[in-house]
């Protein structure tokens, strides 16, 4: 996370838009135990909201993880509108 924290433009290797989603991004973190993934989205273009995390065991992001991220994104903006 420190690697991407201060970057103006984070390399796609570490932060990539997931095709077929409405603004869901995948943050990639390599660890000794495997590949950690954090799904996120942007609020106002500069704030990155982290929504769910999992250890990736296959080449594709599991559909249930994408669905969870999209649900949390929707709930985030509903709550924000109601404030």
Q: How far separated are the first and last CA of the chain, in Å rounded? A: 30
User: What is the pLDDT at residue 82?
Assistant: 87
Condensed to tens digits (0 to 9), the pLDDT of residues 5-35 reads 666 666 677 789 999 999 999 988 887 877 8
pLDDT digits (tens, 9 = 90+) for 27-79: 888 878 778 899 999 998 778 899 999 988 888 899 999 999 999 999 999 99
Choice between 71 and 83, residue whose per-residue pLDDT is larger: 71
The domains of the chain are located at 2-81
Note if the pTM is more than 0.95. Answer: no
The DSSP secondary-structure symbol of 62 reads P
Task: Give the Cα separation of 14 and 3 in Å (integer).
Answer: 9
């Amino acid at each position: 996370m420190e690697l991407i924290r201060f970057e103006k433009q984070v390399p796609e290797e570490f932060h990539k838009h997931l095709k077929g989603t409405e603004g869901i991004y995948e943050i990639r973190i390599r660890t000794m135990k495997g590949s950690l993934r954090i799904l996120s989205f942007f609020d106002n273009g500069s704030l990155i909201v982290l929504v769910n995390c999992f250890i990736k065991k296959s080449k594709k992001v599991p559909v249930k993880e994408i669905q969870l991220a999209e649900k949390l994104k929707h709930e985030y903006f509903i709550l924000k509108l109601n404030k």
